[in-house]
């Protein structure tokens, strides 16, 4: 085995470990017990600095995903599925607001976040606040995330995070989570039955 092949195998192994960590975190996300009221909240600025809250979207279903713009695979795949759901809703799309909440606000604040989400679908609203705001929102949704050093990633780090897609009802109550990799068609069918 040549030196280049060893390096490539090492990089592939590291990528596999990061992916396994993301899947593990996705599976550790805690759904609330069925008999416990659960109403996640957030107060985070959008790309233009306007503070957005859960109450603002009262009357709409929310599809919420926590991720970061430098994510190589999990986040883009999930946002593609969200876009497919929004397209599949047709005339009912205005009853649903998809949200992308950044767990890497240091890199994701600013207009680049709006460009990132719009590249997937124009209705996806990106939110990125200060670290305390992000931690509060993540805690409210009961999701996990953490920074991991990675010399091969932009700025020398990546983010491990719960990778589920969360559905919040028009009254603000948590309805369910879709595990990472749930087909868009399944998400769409579930949502259509609720609208």
What SS3 class is residue 7? Answer: helix
pLDDT tens digit sequence for 93-102: 999 999 999 9
Q: 82, exposed or middle or buried, with CB in 10 Å at 0-12, 13-18, 19+? A: buried
Average pLDDT along the chain: 85
Say yes or no to pLDDT of 33 above 80: no
| Residue 162: CB atoms within 10 Å | 25
Backbone dihedral angles phi then psi of residue 170, each to the nearest 5 degrees: -65, -15
**Alpha helices, H only, the chain:** 3-28, 74-89, 105-108, 111-120, 131-141, 184-194
pTM recorded for the entire structure: 0.80
Q: What percent of the chain has pLDDT over 70?
A: 81
C-alpha angle with apex 144: 149 to 176, nearest 5 degrees? 145
Which CATH code for domain 3-194? Answer: 3.40.30.10
pLDDT tens digit sequence for 89-141: 999 999 999 999 999 988 898 778 999 999 999 999 999 999 999 999 999 99
Range of lowest pLDDT (86-90, 149-153, 168-172): 149-153
Instruction: Parse the chain into domains and list their residue ranges.
Output: 3-194
C-alpha angle with apex 96: 195 to 108, nearest 5 degrees? 155
Closest CA to 65 of 131, 133, 161: 161
Q: How confident is the model at residue 60 (pLDDT cuts 50, 70, 90)?
A: very high
Average pLDDT over residues 83-88: 97
Average pLDDT over residues 43-69: 95
Which pLDDT does position 59 carry in this prediction? 96
């Amino acid at each position: 085995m040549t030196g280049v092949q060893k390096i490539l195998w090492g990089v592939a192994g590291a990528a596999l470990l990061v992916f396994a960590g993301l899947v593990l975190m996705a599976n550790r996300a805690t759904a609330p017990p069925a008999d416990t009221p659960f109403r996640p909240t957030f107060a985070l600025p959008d790309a233009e600095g306007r503070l957005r809250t859960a109450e603002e979207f009262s009357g709409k279903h929310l599809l919420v995903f926590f991720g970061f713009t430098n994510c190589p695979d999990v986040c883009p795949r999930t946002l593609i599925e969200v876009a497919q759901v929004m397209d599949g809703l047709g005339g009912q799309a205005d009853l649903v607001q998809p949200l992308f909440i950044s767990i890497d606000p240091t890199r994701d604040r600013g207009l680049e976040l709006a460009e990132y989400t719009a590249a997937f679908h124009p209705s996806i609203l990106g939110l990125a606040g200060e670290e305390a705001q992000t931690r509060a929102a993540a805690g409210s949704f009961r999701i996990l995330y953490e920074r991991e050093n990675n010399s091969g990633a932009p700025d020398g780090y990546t983010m491990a995070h719960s990778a589920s897609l969360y559905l919040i009802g028009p009254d603000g109550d948590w309805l369910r989570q879709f595990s990472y990799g749930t087909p868009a068609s399944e998400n769409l069918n579930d949502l259509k039955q609720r609208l």
